[in-house]
Amino acid sequence: MSYDLLVIGGGINGTAIARDAAGRGLATLLVERDDLAAHTSSASSKLIHGGLRYLEQFAFRLVHESLQERAVLLQTAPHIVRPLRFVLPVARGMRPWWMIRAGLMLYDLLAHGSSLPRTRTVRDPALTAPLAKAAHAFAYWDAWVDDARLVALNALDARERGAEIAIRTALVSAARDGDAWSAKLSDGRTVRAAAIVNAAGPWVAEVLGQRLAESAESKVRLVKGSHIVVPRLFDGDHAYILQQPDGRVVFAIAYERDFTLVGTTDVPVEAPDDTAPSADEERYLCEAVDRYFRRAVTPSDIVWRYAGIRALHDDGAADAKAVTRDYHLELDADPGPKLLSVFGGKITTARALAEEALETLGVVAPAWTADAPLPGGDFADFAALDAATAARYPWLGDTQRRRLLRAYGTRVETLIGGAHSLGGDFGAGLSAAEIAYLRTHEFARDAEDVLWRRTKCGLHMTAAQREAVATFLTGA
């Protein structure tokens, strides 16, 4: 088989590039050795944001681009991306209120034309009630995202536009052979591709050296970001951004109805597989919220923990938290078949990164993704969609219906069709019909894919219920 483009890596950057390329008419193959979003792209803080703290690093271009991309995602993926209000308490010994206010005003300015509310002083006592001491606080808006679903929807759209998405398929080796790359895959195939994009995230250098026998001028900096999930610390669907004595900020985000997501850390690591939160990181995050909230949190309260390795473009910064979050694309200097490697990047800017990647490769077909809805995102008003779905499927409970709509948007119609039942319930509203949809349409194969990436039902289930899902999938 011959392709115009071979993309290595099934995270947010790889799937965004594959989607854009397929939509421009390129014969595209994406290979991912594990599941989609199996690593960094499902281990984020679940935010689509400009990066308020990046203003301190004078990263104005990155913040502006991120805010523009936030607007795009709110428009094109309204089922999995939604506005999120942040409360930023002013704390003694931290950044003074005037500095925070100035930064937020600049943030609003860089988001010119945004549909989200502008910064304001918090006057609602319900927002400060959970805090132990907050004489003054500001509120601003960014957005929340289901990160793993964003990856899956990019891959789904890529496939529907003609791309081949090969998960559990690794690149074994590749070499230039005349006017194309000859690539050996772990499924036994040897394919040819006019160009390769190395979007392997934390493994970008490993793929270059061990699979492609190439090198790059750019270097990657591996930084672990850990998160903990604890029982709900506050009522409401907003978030808090908490300044810390070390100059960092930690988010406390309303999560999955019953929980609070707390993160993240910045810990340099040597190996991309070092993805277990350490005891020190867990204590750090517990102490970060204890400084602010009335309710104490200890490591024994943690109900789920995860970590991801950020593959940052190494700009020489001494401190991990100061390393740029901007992306860097490096095109190999060889005059033969092209090789483009992706260093760094954020979930927020993946669509823009994909556009730039294809432009760097010399693709002349016009860009198209800025106003193209992702699968399920072709609706204007969630309340109207919810009402129409309730009328179409009156037997669906409110909680289950809204969870399905928040995950699948208008594709709920594909999931349910003309059925009058979703089949057996494994717990947390996860049905046999939903599992079948995920296997058929969204590349899910095992319980981990279904319970922790395509959905977060695993967080609401007992161990026995999760095991029942695994058994069902094994026999399916």
- Is 419 within a domain? yes
- Is 464 within a domain? yes
- How open is the CA angle 116-75-380, to the nearest 5 degrees? 100
**Pair (111, 226) in one structural domain:** yes
pLDDT digits (tens, 9 = 90+) for 123-159: 999 999 999 976 799 999 999 999 999 999 999 999 9
What rounded mean pLDDT belongs to the chain? 95
- Is 386 within a domain? yes
**Pair (313, 231) in one structural domain:** yes
Number of continuous H segments (helices) and E segments (strands) in the chain = 14, 18
Please tell me the predicted confidence (pLDDT) of residue 113: 86
Residue 367's identity, in one-letter code, is A
**Pair (140, 237) in one structural domain:** yes
**Pair (137, 227) in one structural domain:** yes
Residue 237: pLDDT band with limits 50, 70, 90: very high
DSSP letters along 177-215, please? Answer: ETTEEEEEETTS-EEEEEEEEE--GGGHHHIIIIIS---
pLDDT digits (tens, 9 = 90+) for 56-87: 888 899 999 999 999 999 999 999 999 999 99
Highest mean pLDDT among 49-53, 237-241, 422-426: 237-241
Q: Taking Cα atoms as reference points, which of 146, 153, 172, 133 lies closest to residue 31?
A: 172
Cα Rg of the chain, angstroms: 22
Comparing 112 with 438, the larger pLDDT belongs to: 438
Host domain of residue 96: 57-145+221-322
Comparing 424 with 338, the larger pLDDT belongs to: 338
CB 249 within 8 A of CB 297: no
Rounded-to-integer distance, Cα 210 and Cα 189, Å: 19
- Is 46 within a domain? no
Share of the chain above pLDDT 70, in %: 97
- Is 95 within a domain? yes
CATH number of the domain at 332, please. 3.50.50.60
Please tell me the predicted confidence (pLDDT) of residue 201: 96
Q: Which residue has the tokens 């099934």?
A: 10
**How much is the average pLDDT of 78-106?**
94
**Pair (298, 406) in one structural domain:** no
pTM attached to this predicted model? 0.96
Please tell me the predicted confidence (pLDDT) of residue 314: 77
Please tell me the predicted confidence (pLDDT) of residue 319: 60
Please tell me the predicted confidence (pLDDT) of residue 322: 55
**Pair (291, 344) in one structural domain:** no
Please tell me the predicted confidence (pLDDT) of residue 235: 96
Indicate whether 280 pLDDT > 90.
Answer: yes
pLDDT digits (tens, 9 = 90+) for 187-208: 999 999 999 999 999 999 999 9
Indicate whether 432 pLDDT > 90.
Answer: yes
Please tell me the predicted confidence (pLDDT) of residue 476: 60
CB 22 within 8 A of CB 51: no
Residue 317: pLDDT band with limits 50, 70, 90: low
**How much is the average pLDDT of 326-338?**
93
What 3-state DSSP class applies to 100?
helix
pLDDT digits (tens, 9 = 90+) for 383-393: 999 999 999 99
**Pair (332, 318) in one structural domain:** no
**How much is the average pLDDT of 167-173?**
98
Please tell me the predicted confidence (pLDDT) of residue 443: 98
DSSP state of 94: S
Residue 383 makes CB contacts below 8 A (sequence gap 6+) with: none
Q: Which among 371, 400, 435 is the end of a domain?
A: 371
**Pair (305, 436) in one structural domain:** no
Share of the chain above pLDDT 90, in %: 88
- Is 311 within a domain? yes
- Is 50 within a domain? no
Indicate whether 316 pLDDT > 70.
Answer: no
Q: Provide the 10 A C-beta neighbour count for residue 52.
A: 19
Comparing 241 with 312, the larger pLDDT belongs to: 241
**Pair (131, 229) in one structural domain:** yes
